[in-house]
């Protein structure tokens, strides 16, 4: 939880109720089969979705990291992908203590700390690697979270992350809004706000990261209907925790939303799709040994000459 004396805030600057998110994640971790709702995190971790890079594969084979931090680790989805050859020691941090207690065991020496991702309890220049998978979209102050991650990294350390993006669950959002407008004459948000991909690079750069890579991909999952979508979101600990959420929807509104969902987005086999947009990001903390851009005006070839390269190559082959 937030440090003592820090009161819960609501409003534009703090859209999420972090205490409620902690309860949601703790509840999900205590279910009889918590792993059955891990499929999205496994998809992102393993990189099977489309052509986007996995969360870890671009950097981990390059070196061995003595000490790594997993921010918003949950039940240890990232740790399952690590070996002693890539990470020597791992610290997992999550706001939900039940998720840490039920974390999957790994061969790497692992230490678990119950703490809010918005208030990392570590000294500066501590970690060689920081990873975060599908957690930071619930942070109230994302610029501050990026700055704290940058702060706890050592020079030449790397941050690798993935989070849900702005088009996530657009089918569910539209169906609920249309149903509520029809049945109740207005609507309130039922899907949490997400960051736009255009803002990510700027936020990472402002936090001090360089040599940035930002990529986006979509994962589409088919469900029997709207109610199954919402049930799995609850099992993932991904239910809405916005301060301005509506705590209860009428039964008639929910049934109307399910019908609208199927009518507008339904598949030919009767199932309905749910889209999850994923943002992947990589950023390095500056070190003098890193490659630097050439000085302005030092180029010896103009962009106008690039059009001639293909012709020169073809002539050389002949």
pLDDT one-digit tens code per residue, 249-261: 788 889 999 999 9
Percent of the chain whose predicted confidence (pLDDT) is above 70: 79
Query: Among 32-41, 49-58, 144-153, which stretch is predicted with the lowest mean pLDDT?
Result: 49-58
In a domain, 309, yes or no: no
Question: In this model, does residue 11 exceed pLDDT 60?
Answer: no
Residues spanned by the domain of 109 = 18-168+193-224+275-287
| Distance in angstroms (rounded) separating the CA atoms of residues 178 and 253 | 9
Residue with tokens 């569910």: 172
In a domain, 36, yes or no: yes
Assign 179 to helix, strand or coil: helix
Strands 90-94 and 127-133: unpaired
Mean pLDDT of the chain: 82
In a domain, 262, yes or no: no
Query: Among 157-161, 187-191, 194-198, 280-284, which stretch is predicted with the lowest mean pLDDT?
Result: 187-191
Question: In this model, does residue 26 exceed pLDDT 90?
Answer: yes
Residue 183 structure tokens:
């049945």
In a domain, 243, yes or no: no
Q: CA 247, 255, 17: angle at the middle one, nearest 5? A: 20
In a domain, 29, yes or no: yes
In a domain, 128, yes or no: yes
In a domain, 70, yes or no: yes
How many domains does the chain fold into? Answer: 1
pTM, rounded to two decimals: 0.81
Percent of the chain whose predicted confidence (pLDDT) is above 90: 43
Band of residue 303 on the pLDDT scale cut at 50, 70, 90: low
pLDDT one-digit tens code per residue, 98-156: 999 988 888 889 999 999 888 899 999 999 999 999 999 998 889 999 999 999 999 98
pLDDT at residue number 70: 94
Residue with tokens 């936090």: 207
CATH number assigned to the domain comprising residue 35 = 3.40.50.150
pLDDT one-digit tens code per residue, 172-205: 999 988 988 888 766 665 555 677 777 888 899 9
Question: In this model, does residue 222 exceed pLDDT 90?
Answer: yes
Assign 98 to helix, strand or coil: helix
Residue 111 structure tokens:
């230490």
In a domain, 214, yes or no: yes
């Amino acid at each position: 939880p937030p440090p003592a004396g820090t009161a819960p805030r609501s409003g534009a600057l703090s859209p999420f109720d972090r205490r409620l998110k902690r309860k949601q994640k703790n509840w999900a971790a205590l279910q009889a089969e918590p792993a059955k709702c891990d499929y999205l995190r496994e998809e992102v971790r393993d990189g099977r979705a489309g052509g986007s890079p996995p969360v870890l594969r671009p950097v981990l084979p390059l070196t061995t990291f003595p000490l790594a931090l997993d921010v918003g680790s949950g039940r240890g989805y990232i740790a399952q992908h690590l070996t002693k050859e890539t990470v020597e020691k791992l610290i997992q941090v999550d706001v939900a203590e039940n998720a840490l207690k039920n974390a999957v065991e790994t061969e790497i020496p692992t230490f678990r700390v119950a703490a809010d991702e918005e208030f990392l309890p570590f000294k500066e220049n501590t970690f060689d690697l920081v990873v975060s998978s599908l957690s930071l979209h619930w942070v109230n102050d994302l610029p501050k979270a990026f700055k704290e991650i940058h702060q706890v990294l050592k020079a030449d350390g790397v941050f690798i992350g993935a989070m849900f993006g702005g088009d996530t669950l657009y089918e569910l959002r539209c169906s609920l809004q249309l149903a509520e407008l029809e049945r109740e004459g207005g609507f309130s948000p039922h899907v949490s706000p997400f960051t736009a991909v255009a803002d990510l690079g700027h936020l990472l750069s402002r936090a001090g990261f360089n040599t940035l890579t930002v990529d986006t991909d979509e994962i589409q999952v088919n469900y029997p209907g709207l109610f199954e979508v919402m049930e799995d979101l609850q099992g993932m600990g991904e239910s809405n925790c916005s301060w301005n959420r509506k705590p209860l929807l009428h039964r008639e509104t929910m049934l109307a939303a399910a019908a609208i969902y199927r009518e507008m987005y339904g598949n030919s086999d009767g199932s309905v799709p749910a889209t999850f947009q994923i943002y992947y990001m990589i950023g390095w903390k500056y070190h003098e040994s890193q490659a630097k851009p050439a000085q302005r005006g030092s180029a010896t070839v103009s962009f106008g000459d690039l059009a001639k390269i293909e012709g020169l190559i073809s002539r050389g082959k002949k």
